[in-house]
């Protein structure tokens, strides 16, 4: 995936998650296009969460893997893999998405979270414009990634 494609998808993923969780707490002054959720899903088989908007640790080291993607039926399932603490296996939970009322919306439940996902390739090189869009939509960001805490990301069971 090209750098510009990764940038666009990261921005769209931020917009999608923020829009669908109604967690928009930022000033919302930056220009943006309406993303197509299922185009984002088509291009993100795997995601790494790098920011959210609160300082709880529940989403630290979060990754997501796409399963059961059906672009015709407009359904997709992502398996979220969460850090369960030192010495514990990761916790996995499924989020099933169906098409929403507009192209940028899906129906699923996360609560009032606003999370920025990027591809693994962009995890340590997120474009400033993505971070600015996230802050504009969601408000203050808290990092979810710590290389000392998230050490099991590369070795987790690929079967989830």
- Please spell the DSSP secondary structure of 18-53, one letter per residue: HHHHT---S---S--PPP-HHHHHHH-SEEEEEEES
69: in domain: yes
Nearest to 53 by CA among 120, 102, 114, 99: 114
97: in domain: yes
In the numeric block, the tokens 């989403």 are attached to: 59
Of 13-22, 35-44, 60-69, where does mean pLDDT reach its minimum? 13-22
The span from the CA of 77 to the CA of 74, in Å, is: 11
The predicted model gives 27-34 an average pLDDT of: 88
56: in domain: yes
Range of the domain at 72: 3-155
The span from the CA of 11 to the CA of 146, in Å, is: 22
Domain tally, the chain: 1
pLDDT at 153 exceeding the cut of 70: no
Nearest to 126 by CA among 5, 38, 6, 2: 6
The predicted model gives 35-63 an average pLDDT of: 88
145: in domain: yes
160: in domain: no
102: in domain: yes
Q: Higher pLDDT residue, 22 or 102?
A: 102
pLDDT in tens, 123-140: 888 888 888 888 887 788
85: in domain: yes
Strands 46-52 and 116-118: antiparallel
Nearest to 53 by CA among 122, 131, 129: 131
Domain harbouring 71, CATH code: 2.40.128.20
88: in domain: yes
């Amino acid at each position: 995936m090209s750098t510009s494609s990764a940038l666009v998808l990261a921005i769209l993923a931020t917009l999608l998650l923020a829009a669908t969780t109604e967690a928009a707490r930022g000033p919302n002054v930056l220009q943006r296009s309406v993303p197509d959720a299922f185009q984002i899903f088509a291009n993100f088989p795997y995601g790494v969460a790098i920011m959210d908007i609160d300082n709880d640790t529940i989403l630290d080291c979060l990754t997501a893997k796409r399963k059961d993607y059906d672009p015709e039926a407009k359904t997709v399932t992502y398996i979220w893999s969460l850090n369960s603490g030192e010495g514990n296996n990761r916790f996995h939970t499924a989020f099933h998405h169906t098409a929403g009322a507009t192209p940028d919306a899906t129906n699923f439940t996360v609560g009032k979270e606003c999370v920025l996902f990027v591809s693994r390739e962009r995890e340590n090189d997120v474009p400033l414009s993505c971070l600015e869009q996230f802050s504009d939509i969601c408000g203050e960001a808290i990092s979810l990634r710590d290389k000392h805490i998230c050490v099991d990301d590369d070795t987790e069971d690929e079967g989830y």
